[in-house]
Amino acid sequence: MVVALVVLGALLAGVLITSKNRDGDIEKLDSNDHPLKSLYPLASLIYGVFRRGRKQDIFGSPDILREVYMDEKPEISQKIQGCKCIASILAILGVTCIICFAYAYSREKILVNTTHLKRNEAGMGVKEYDLMMNSSLTRENEIKVRVSEKRLEGDELAKLKEDAAYYIDNHILKEGDKPECVRGDLNLMTGIPGTSISIKWSEDNSWFVGIDGNLKNSELVEPVMVSLRAVLFYYDESWDYEKLITIYPPLLTEEESFLQALDEILKRTDEETQTEEMFELPEKVGDVEVGWEEKDDNGLLMFMFLGLVGACIIIPAMKQDIKKKKKLRNEQMMRDYPDIISKFVMLITAGMTCRGAWGKICADYVRTRDKKKSDRKNHKKSFKYAYEEMLISDKEMQLGMPEIKVYERFGTRCQVPAYNKFGTLLARNIKRGSAGIIEILETESKESIVERRENVRKQGEETGTKLLLPMFGMLILVIAIVVVPAFSSFSL
C-alpha cells in the first residue's frame, strides 16, 4: 500500500513537472499514433538517463529502427521508440497503483478497534481470519484465527428448539401425505438448514423405514403405526424428538400394478427355467396380452447421420482446397513471370526468334527439373506451373499448330492477366513484325519486377496480420501468469 502510494505520487509529480518542457520532436507526433503522448516528456527525461549511460539500445536495434523509420534521423527515431517504451511502462505502473488503491479501500476491515473480530451470526458457521501477529518474543508471523458462530442460549435457544421441531414436522413427509396416512418416502434430514443443529435418527423401525427414509411398505397388507425418534444436537445441548406416523401400503396405478405383475412373472420364469437353454417371455399378464420386439439400434442411425454430415462437409472443403491451390498456382506464376520475361528479352536480343527463345527456355527448365527428379523434395520445389504451360505450347508448335494461335492459347490457358498480355504481345509480333518488340518486353520486364515486389510486400502484411491472434494469446497468458498469483495472495 505504501509502495503503491509512493510510486503513484512520484509518477504524478514527474508528469506535472515535465509537462512544461517543450520538445519539438515530441510535439510534432500525432496523438492518434501515440496515445500516451502526455507521458512522453517524463519518458524523455528518463530516456536521457539511459542515453548518458549508453544503454539506449535496449529499446530497439538502431539498424532496425533506421529501416522502419526511413523518413527520420536515426537518433530521433531511437529517441521516439525509447519514449514510447518508457511511457508504456509508466502507464502500466500507474494503472497497477490505482487498482491496488481501489482494492485496498473496497476490502472490508477485519479488525475492529485493532483487537476485535466480528463473529458470525447463529447458523452462518465458522469464520476464518488471516492475520499478522507480532510480539516482543516473536517476529511477525502469519496466524489463521478460527472464530465460531454466535451461540444461542436461554430464551433464544428455547425458540430455536421449537423452530427445529416445526421444521421437521413440515419437511419430513412427502407432499400430500399426512401423519395419519403415509405412503411415500420420508425426508430424514441430518441437520436444520441455517443452524448448527445436527440430527441423528433412531434405527428402531428399520423394518419399515430405511436409514435413507425409504419406506418398506410394498409388502404391507394392513397399516402399521410407527414412532419416529431422533436426537437433536446443538453444541453440548441435546434433546429428543418423536413423531407418530401410520404407514399404509402404496397405492399403485393400473400401469404400476401391471409392471409389478410382469416383473414377478419374469423373475419366476427365470428361476424355473435356469437349467434350460431358452428363456420364454410371457405372452399374457393376467388379462392383458403382451407383445415383444427388439429395441432399435440408434447407433447405426447415428453413424449414417454422421456419414451424411461428413459427405456434406467434404464437398465444400474440397472446393475450398481447390481454390487455395489455384491461388497458390497464380502466385507462383506471378513470381516466375519477371524471370521468364527477362530470359525472353535476353535471348531475343542475342538474335534468336520468338520460337527459338521459347524452345530454349523450355529446354533449360526440363533439364533442371529432370536433374532434381530423384530428390522428391527438390522435385516438388522445381515444378513450375508457368514453365509447364510453356512446355505444352512448345509441344503444340512441334505438332504443327500455327505460332500465333499457340501464343493466344497460352495466354488464355494461364488465366493470369500478365501471361495473357505476354501471349498477346508475341502473337501481335508475328502478325505485324518484330519492330519494337524488344523495347516493349523490356518495359514489361521492369513493370513485372515492380509488381512482384509489391506482391511480396502484401504477403508480408497478411502474414503479420495472421500473427496478431497468437501474439494476443501469448500476451493474455503472460498477464495471467503475473496477475493471478498476485491476486490469489490477497485475503478477501
Distance from C-alpha of 2 to C-alpha of 12, rounded to nearest angstrom: 15
For residue 483, which of 1, 99, 36, 9 has the smallest C-alpha distance?
Answer: 99
For residue 406, which of 387, 390, 421, 419 has the smallest C-alpha distance?
Answer: 390
Query: Is the CB of residue 272 less than 8 Å from the CB of residue 266?
Result: no
| Alpha carbon distances (Å) from 228 to 201, 277, 367 | 8, 50, 101
Maximum Cα interatomic distance, the chain, rounded to a whole number of Å:
122
Distance from C-alpha of 467 to C-alpha of 444, rounded to nearest angstrom: 35
The highest-confidence range among 18-22, 64-68, 345-349, 465-469, by mean pLDDT, is 345-349
- Kindly report whether the global pTM for this prediction surpasses the value 0.75: no
The torsion region of residue 152 among left (phi > 0), alpha (psi -120 to 50) and beta comes to beta
- Note the pLDDT of residue 374: 60
pLDDT tens per residue across span 81-123: 777 777 777 788 777 777 776 766 666 666 666 667 777 777 6
> Could you tell me the pLDDT band of residue 137, with boundaries at 50, 70 and 90?
low
Taking residues 299-324, report their average pLDDT. 65
> Could you tell me the pLDDT band of residue 66, with boundaries at 50, 70 and 90?
very low
- Note the pLDDT of residue 376: 53
What are residue 372's phi and psi, to 5 degrees? Answer: -100, 15
- Cell readout for 80 is 521516439
- Note the pLDDT of residue 110: 66
For residue 223, which of 246, 254, 239 has the smallest C-alpha distance?
Answer: 246
Distance from C-alpha of 281 to C-alpha of 258, rounded to nearest angstrom: 15
- The packing angle between helices 74-106 and 2-18, to 10°, is 140
Q: Give the strand pairing for 111-112 and 116-117.
A: antiparallel
**C-alpha Rg value of the chain to the nearest Å:** 45
For residue 387, which of 354, 352, 340, 427 has the smallest C-alpha distance?
Answer: 340
The torsion region of residue 275 among left (phi > 0), alpha (psi -120 to 50) and beta comes to alpha
Place of cell 528518463: 46
pLDDT tens per residue across span 150-201: 778 888 888 888 888 888 888 888 877 888 888 778 888 888 888 888 898 8
Neighbours of 152 (CB within 10 A): 20
Residue 296's contacts (CB-CB under 8 Å, 6 or more residues apart) are none
Helix (H) or strand (E) holding 377: helix 376-382
Query: Is the CB of residue 128 less than 8 Å from the CB of residue 146?
Result: yes
- Note the pLDDT of residue 444: 76
Place of cell 505438332: 399
Residue predicted with more confidence, 238 or 490 = 238
Residue predicted with more confidence, 54 or 450 = 450
Q: What's the whole-number average pLDDT of the chain?
A: 76
- Note the pLDDT of residue 36: 75
Place of cell 518495359: 443
Taking residues 328-356, report their average pLDDT. 85
Distance from C-alpha of 464 to C-alpha of 471, rounded to nearest angstrom: 10
> Could you tell me the pLDDT band of residue 373, with boundaries at 50, 70 and 90?
low
- Collapsing DSSP to helix, strand or coil, 352 comes out as coil
pLDDT tens per residue across span 7-29: 777 777 777 777 777 777 777 77
> Could you tell me the pLDDT band of residue 70, with boundaries at 50, 70 and 90?
very low
Is the pLDDT at 275 greater than 80, yes or no?
A: no
- Note the pLDDT of residue 429: 79
Query: Could you please report the per-residue DSSP string of 217-241?
Result: -TT-SS-EEEEEEEEEEETTEEEEE
- Note the pLDDT of residue 73: 64
pLDDT tens per residue across span 420-478: 888 888 888 777 765 667 777 777 777 777 777 777 777 777 777 777 778 888 888 88
Is the pLDDT at 348 greater than 80, yes or no?
A: yes
Domain boundaries of the chain, sorted by first residue: 2-106, 155-247, 254-289, 322-469
Is the pLDDT at 355 greater than 80, yes or no?
A: yes
Residue 134's contacts (CB-CB under 8 Å, 6 or more residues apart) are 140, 141
- Note the pLDDT of residue 427: 85
pLDDT tens per residue across span 209-237: 877 778 777 777 688 888 888 899 988 88
Query: Could you please report the per-residue DSSP string of 344-373?
Result: HHHHHHTT--HHHHHHHHHHHHHHHHHHTS
